[in-house]
Amino acid sequence: MSTTKEKITEALKQVIYFKKQNNIVDLGMIHDIRVVRNEITVSIVFPDMNDPSVGIVCNSATNILKKEFGEDTPVTVKPVSEAELGKGPLSGVTNIIAVISGKGGVGKSTVAANLAVSLAKMGKSVGILDADIMGPSVPIMFGVEEEHPGVIEREGKPLIIPIQKYDVKILSLGFFVTPDQALMWRGSMINKAFNQLMNDAEWGDLDYLVIDMPPGTGDIQLTLAQDYRVTGTILVTTPQKIAIADVRRAAMMYRQEKLTIPLFGLIENMAYFTPDELPDKKYYIFGKGATDQLAAELDIPVLGRIPIVEKITESGDNGTPLSLDVLSPVSAAFNDIAVETMKQVEIKQALTPN
């Protein structure tokens, strides 16, 4: 068989990168193909050179090329890192901040949306990815649930264009399903959808990509921890003991030896109730102190406390995050949380060797 770049490319479609459940050609991992006097040299790009899959993929590519073009054909397969080439789907994203919770109903999506808006108000370039596959609510909170992301093609690969509102780039699975559609997906399907939103999007240059994670400790949490360079996580809880117990389990997941990601701190949502007519009063309806005890146990700070305010729900339902209201005390609370988050990023940078 004659050796051409086109035939080599077609043969390499048999090589599967199992972490992303697709072949290395369609994933855009082929950096260079050279044929000199029937000798084949291929460069394959990997997000992480320490990934055990690097050797597996390179060996598979070598074996397939020899099978297709002859066992005596000289084949060299070179792994190259995305960082080395200054490329990759998230190469322009400086910090990834995951907002997590141990259980649903604690206001995690509200925190993620308002944190993103608060960071954008401070002049940062910000994106938000709604990875809560079973309950994508970010489109509603930004008032863009009726919109649809665009698609462009670059180097033969289609890329999703995030919707932009309030100076935040927004992507969510909610853009691709109808509101009454039930998602009965297995883990592999969920991971594939998450990876597509991360890797097949034109995020561009971002100071912060905020990820609204699903509650609990499931497949997406593992994928995020193992496959992406996460700057840090923020844990959202409410004062009730059951919520504290659940968020403790979520925190422990990220402190396993192979999944170590910095825990930036806790945010206590629904911390207290202050009536409009009594602005100096704080009623701790769900208790007080448990969040501080957990923070001490985990040796992380409490980044902020969000009061119970009716306008939070109203603003979310209306597609206008309350962080946009400069007169609201909740807006001030989220502003402080954004400042504390940036401080945690600076601390991590100072502790990370160059």
Burial class of residue 242, CB neighbours in 10 A (0-12, 13-18, 19+): exposed
CATH number at residue 275: 3.40.50.300
| Domain termination site, one of 21, 55, 85 | 85
**CA 19, CA 22: separation in Å to the nearest integer?**
8
Token code pair at residue 194: 């998450």
- The answer on 161 and 74 residing in a single domain is no
- The answer on 106 and 74 residing in a single domain is no
DSSP structure string for 76-144: EEEEEEHHHHT-STTTTEEEEEEEEESSSSS-HHHHHHHHHHHHHHTT--EEEEE--TTS--HHHHTT-
How many other CB atoms are found less than 10 A from the CB of residue 92? 16
**The total number of structural domains that make up the chain:** 2
- The answer on 267 and 207 residing in a single domain is yes
- The answer on 148 and 257 residing in a single domain is yes
- The answer on 157 and 27 residing in a single domain is no
| CB neighbour list of residue 322: distance below 8 Å, 6 or more residues apart | 114, 309, 311, 312, 315, 316, 328, 330, 331, 334
- The answer on 242 and 139 residing in a single domain is yes
| Domain termination site, one of 61, 85, 109 | 85
Burial class of residue 155, CB neighbours in 10 A (0-12, 13-18, 19+): exposed
CATH number at residue 13: 3.30.300.130
- Provide the pLDDT for residue 348: 83
- Provide the pLDDT for residue 184: 59
- The answer on 116 and 28 residing in a single domain is no
Token code pair at residue 315: 């603003």
- The answer on 206 and 179 residing in a single domain is yes
- The answer on 104 and 21 residing in a single domain is no
- Provide the pLDDT for residue 189: 76
- The answer on 268 and 129 residing in a single domain is yes
- The answer on 312 and 245 residing in a single domain is yes
- Provide the pLDDT for residue 257: 61
- Provide the pLDDT for residue 155: 64
| Domain termination site, one of 85, 101, 128 | 85
- Provide the pLDDT for residue 303: 94
Given a contact cutoff of 8 angstroms between Cβ atoms, the answer to whether 345 and 232 are in contact is yes
- Provide the pLDDT for residue 212: 93
- Provide the pLDDT for residue 179: 62
Domain that holds residue 97: 93-351
- pTM here is 0.75
**CA 36, CA 272: separation in Å to the nearest integer?**
71
Q: What is the pLDDT along the chain (354 residues), one digit of tens a residue?
A: 567 889 999 999 999 998 878 899 988 889 889 998 889 999 998 877 878 899 999 999 999 999 999 999 999 999 988 766 766 668 789 999 999 887 778 888 999 999 999 999 999 999 999 988 767 889 999 999 888 888 887 766 788 999 999 999 999 987 877 666 656 566 677 778 888 888 888 898 899 999 998 887 677 887 887 778 889 999 999 888 788 888 888 888 777 766 667 889 999 999 888 777 777 788 888 888 888 998 998 899 999 999 887 777 777 778 888 888 887 888 889 999 999 999 999 988 887 655
- Provide the pLDDT for residue 159: 86
Token code pair at residue 321: 């995050």
- The answer on 159 and 277 residing in a single domain is yes
